[in-house]
Amino acid sequence: MSTGTLKVRHRGNVNQEDTSAFAQRWTAGQLGKPGGSTGTHSHFRNLMLGGDKLQLSSLGVGTYLGGLDERTDDAVAAAVIYSVASGWNVIDTASNYRWGRAESAIGAALDSLLAGASVKDFLQDGEYSADITRGMLFISTKAGFVDEALVRRLVKDKALARRDVVSGHCLAPAYLRASVAASLERLNLQSVDLLYLHNPAEMQLQGLGKAGFRAKMVEAFKALEELRAAGALRSYGVASWDCFRVPPTDAGHLSLEEVVSWAREAGGEKHGLAAIQLPVSAGMPEAWAQPWQVVNNSSVSVMKAAELLGLAVFTSGPLGEGDLLKRLTGRLDGVVELRGQSTTAQKLIQIARSTPGKSMASALVGHKTREFVVSNTAVATMDPLSEADFNAAMRSVRAIMSEGGAAAGGAEGGAAAAGST
């Protein structure tokens, strides 16, 4: 399919009724299938997010890596369509992924997928149509890494100063507004459900110092609150790589409790901060394994901190940018709790989506190749691991990794082959 040819701003946002209809329809389709559940499928999770109770899939589509060509555009669009048809209703991207082409590819997929804004559009004698609606899909994007052409235009118009751009990154309100407008145009949407500030701590915390960074974040949150009031976004969050996974003694550490206080300063008690994103995998267990956050004077994991502070957690990097997949291929076959998954990629994805914690939303998986798309989406037909089975599996995985020295690498987020966002 050709991307960007139909410029329709699809209206609406994700909502409780539509996500419930999506989950019920998909779950009903799994009943009676080999390996399928016989009751309510735990592939979907009930989460309070942005003021509504949503049913979101435990796996979501990530769109980080890929070439800057039409063939990749078409592959991403096709993968999004297939994933949604396979029960995934979470789609994640960013303004800088493939220099905006990831958003355009999603826009093309949405043009093919969406029949309307809400299931209410299709009420027929008390029954819902089988169409996909905007209200069924949770769509997130990110702003922060700069588009130089956009920066030049804003500087020329004297809306932005060059000093506001730090190592290719910008949190200035004028830039955030322009970036969101460009993202909505590429996505063909009137509004996104979640707008992340993209790696703000990793790019600017140490350079600005804590006081300077706090001021910059409050200013950015105020801009996002204005965009939220205007209907361009439903909620906002912070996407990260290191800042929520390192101990408080690390210069790059960010306190989630402080981040929430900045949102309150920007938007009051009904602020729009709703979620964070960070890598979680067999090789990056810090989010649930390390008590490196402090909430109400108690040391807790970032997963628990998010729960206590009312935030959802979306995770990235289940294959460690492909590194875990290469290092562990065939080596997880003896892990009893993962025998329901046939490939190493499936086993690693199962670990990521089973991350314990009430704040856990979706594990984001990037895929384009037909083989990986079909294989990865099949994981949704199986229930995530229970917390007990997850802990037992991780004990085995850690032993295997310590024997072979396997460790996850990576920088910004995403996996190479079948991998992450």
Is residue 301 situated within a structural domain? yes
Query: Mean pLDDT over residues 162-170, rounded?
Result: 95
Q: Is residue 6 scored above 80 in pLDDT?
A: no
Please report the sign of the dihedral spanned by the C-alpha atoms of residue 386, residue 387, residue 392, residue 397.
positive
What residue numbers bound the domain in which 282 lies? 16-404
pLDDT band at 416 (very low <50, low <70, confident <90, very high): very low
| Count of domains for the chain | 1
The per-residue pLDDT for 65 is: 86
Is residue 412 situated within a structural domain? no
407 token code pair: 């460790």
DSSP track, 106-142:
HHHHHHHHEEES-GGGG-BTTB--S-EEGGG-EEEEE
Is residue 6 situated within a structural domain? no
Read off the pLDDT of residues 100-158 as tens digits, 9 standing for 90 and up: 999 999 999 999 999 889 888 776 555 556 789 999 999 999 999 999 999 999 999 99
Read off the pLDDT of residues 381-408 as tens digits, 9 standing for 90 and up: 999 999 999 999 999 999 999 886 544 3
Percent of the residues in the chain that have a pLDDT greater than 90, as a whole number = 81
Q: Is residue 278 scored above 70 in pLDDT?
A: yes
Is residue 26 situated within a structural domain? yes
pLDDT band at 420 (very low <50, low <70, confident <90, very high): very low
Is residue 359 situated within a structural domain? yes
The per-residue pLDDT for 203 is: 97
Q: Please name which of 182, 38, 64, 96 lies closest in space to residue 418, comparing C-alpha atoms.
A: 64
Q: Is residue 205 scored above 60 in pLDDT?
A: yes
**What is the rounded CA–CA span in Å between residue 278 and residue 259?**
15
Average pLDDT value for the chain = 90
Q: Please name which of 104, 130, 108, 111 lies closest in space to residue 119, comparing C-alpha atoms.
A: 130
Q: In sequence order, which residues have a C-beta less than 8 Å from that of residue 269 and are 6 or more positions away?
A: none
Is residue 229 situated within a structural domain? yes
Query: Mean pLDDT over residues 32-55, rounded?
Result: 74
Is residue 421 situated within a structural domain? no
**CATH number, domain at 205?**
3.20.20.100
Read off the pLDDT of residues 217-233 as tens digits, 9 standing for 90 and up: 999 999 999 999 999 99
Read off the pLDDT of residues 245-276 as tens digits, 9 standing for 90 and up: 999 999 999 999 999 999 999 999 999 999 99
pLDDT band at 31 (very low <50, low <70, confident <90, very high): low
